[in-house]
Amino acid sequence: MIKIFKKLTYIFLIFFSPILNLYAEENKLKIGMLVPLTGDDKKIGQQIIQATRMALQDINSPNIEIFPKDTGSNPTLTLKSAKEIQQMGINVVIGPVFFKRRTF
């Protein structure tokens, strides 16, 4: 599962690497993350954040910051978190991430 998140994060960062060149050194790229940090799916959210942090360590740039926000796999909480991210002036948003378990 972690390998999948690593690959997705690397693909994401490769896709947005041209955006990184557009910003001057004094500007920071702010990445908002809408992930479940509470509730039944908190492990998935933690894995996404860890994978993103590992990718940022590989890039090794002080001009990139991540701002995780909790969705709790709840649409109402997700909307509230998305509005907070918008007010913070975040440049890029990853998520929201919802996960539905299948029962057989």
Of the candidates 56, 24, 50, the residue with the CA atom closest to the CA atom of residue 37:
50
Kindly state whether residue 10 falls inside one of the protein's structural domains. Answer: yes
Look at residue 53 and tell me whether its pLDDT is greater than 80.
Answer: yes
- What the block records as the tokens of 92 is 């890029």
pTM score of the predicted model: 0.65
Of the candidates 70, 69, 66, the residue with the CA atom closest to the CA atom of residue 52:
66
What would the pLDDT profile of 16-43 be if each residue is shown by its tens digit? Answer: 555 555 554 457 888 899 998 888 888 8
Kindly state whether residue 101 falls inside one of the protein's structural domains. Answer: no
**What pLDDT is attached to residue 67?**
92
Here the CATH number for the domain that contains residue 31 is 3.40.50.2300
Q: What is the DSSP letter of 39?
A: S
- What the block records as the tokens of 95 is 């998520």
Domains held by the chain: number: 1
What would the pLDDT profile of 54-101 be if each residue is shown by its tens digit? Answer: 888 888 888 888 899 998 888 888 889 889 998 988 878 888 866 566
Range of the domain at 86: 2-94
User: What is the tally of helices (H) and strands (E) in the chain?
Assistant: 3, 3
